[in-house]
């Protein structure tokens, strides 16, 4: 079966009106997520298209603006967490937060269609990484680092049940996060459907798979799906894979770290493309 690659050029970054933000604690403004405080600034962030990763609402908040924040957040699939006053003080310190704080990504996040277009613009046979449920920020950052070093065209991660882009992720990436296109999705099934329609084949890492990694064909557009070492690939993602592969192991440890597994798979993809006859 042959899939025809398609896509369109990514849209320019939409920039909303300027608003006051403050970097998260113990981090620098250029490398950290930013926290936006107050009902109006958070509403503006949601309306402007800025990459809002999560919203914190203090218990007991009411009123029209709170309802509008919740409505817009749900429409944009932004997770909402209700917290007590103590947790809100930890997030905002002495800032007048009005019971609302938003965590904003320090890096630009692309829409999936834009990521696909950018990947095909860079290569006729791009390789993308799908990080499925990676909750450890160190793991996610290390995966971003491996993906960028080994020539992946981008990394896709989940909006829920996964680590957001935090200071720890930025630090673990060792700067790779500034050079690798990233995309956050809410539905793995919908995302994989779009990727397949664009011409990608989806290979999932699974320790129980019968086929070894080197049996996969990387001379085509490929999405490498890697789950957490604890749970592995989710059912919704696994059933959309075109093939599952295992990385052979000889030791007694049950599984590889997710970022290590991703790095090994990406290196095999690079090896096949650089030395197709080996």
pLDDT above 50 (res 12): no
pLDDT tens digits along 171-213: 888 888 888 999 999 899 999 999 999 999 999 999 889 999 9
Nearest C-alpha neighbor of 104 from the set 18, 178, 15, 33: 33
Q: Which residue has the higher pLDDT, 115 or 252?
A: 115
- What pLDDT, in 10s, does the model give residues 22-37? 433 333 333 445 788 8
Q: How confident is the model at residue 3 (pLDDT cuts 50, 70, 90)?
A: low
Query: How far apart are the C-alpha atoms of 172 and 168, rounded to whole Å?
Result: 6
- pLDDT value, residue 163: 87
At a CB cut-off of 8 Å and minimum separation 6, what does 121 contact? 7, 9
Domains of the chain, first to last: 22-104 (3.30.1330.30), 112-274 (3.40.1280.10)
Helix then strand count (H, E) for the chain reads 9, 11
- Sheet of 201-205, strand order: 182-185, 154-158, 127-132, 222-227, 201-205, 243-245
The structure tokens listed for 218 are 């990387």
DSSP 151-182: T-SEEEEESSSS--S-HHHHHHTTTGGGTS-E
Q: Is the predicted pLDDT of residue 14 greater than 50, yes or no?
A: no
Given a cut of 60, whether residue 108 has pLDDT beyond it is: yes
């Amino acid at each position: 079966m042959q899939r025809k690659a398609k896509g369109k050029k990514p849209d320019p970054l939409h920039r909303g009106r300027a608003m006051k933000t403050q970097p998260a604690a113990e981090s620098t403004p250029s490398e950290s997520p930013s926290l936006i405080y107050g009902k109006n600034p958070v509403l503006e962030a949601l309306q402007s298209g800025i990459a809002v990763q999560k919203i914190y609402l203090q218990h007991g908040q009411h009123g029209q603006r709170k309802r509008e924040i919740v409505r817009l957040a749900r429409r944009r699939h932004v997770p909402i967490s209700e917290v007590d006053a103590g947790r809100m003080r930890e997030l905002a310190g002495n800032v007048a937060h009005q019971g609302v704080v938003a965590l904003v990504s320090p890096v630009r996040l692309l829409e999936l269609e834009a990521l696909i277009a950018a990947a095909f613009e860079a290569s006729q046979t791009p390789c993308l990484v799908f990080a499925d449920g990676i909750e450890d920020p160190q793991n996610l950052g290390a995966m971003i680092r491996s993906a960028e070093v080994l020539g992946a065209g981008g990394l896709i991660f989940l909006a829920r049940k996964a680590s957001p882009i935090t200071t720890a992720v930025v630090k673990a990436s060792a700067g790779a996060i500034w050079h690798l296109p990233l995309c956050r999705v809410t539905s793995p099934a919908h995302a994989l459907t779009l990727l397949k329609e664009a011409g990608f084949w989806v290979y999932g890492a699974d320790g129980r798979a019968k086929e070894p990694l080197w049996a996969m064909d990387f001379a085509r557009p490929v999405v490498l799906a890697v789950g957490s070492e604890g749970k592995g690939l989710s059912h919704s993602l696994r059933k959309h894979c075109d093939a599952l592969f295992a990385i052979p192991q000889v030791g007694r440890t049950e599984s590889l770290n997710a970022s290590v597994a991703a790095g090994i798979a990406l290196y095999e993809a690079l090896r096949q493309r650089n030395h197709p006859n080996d």
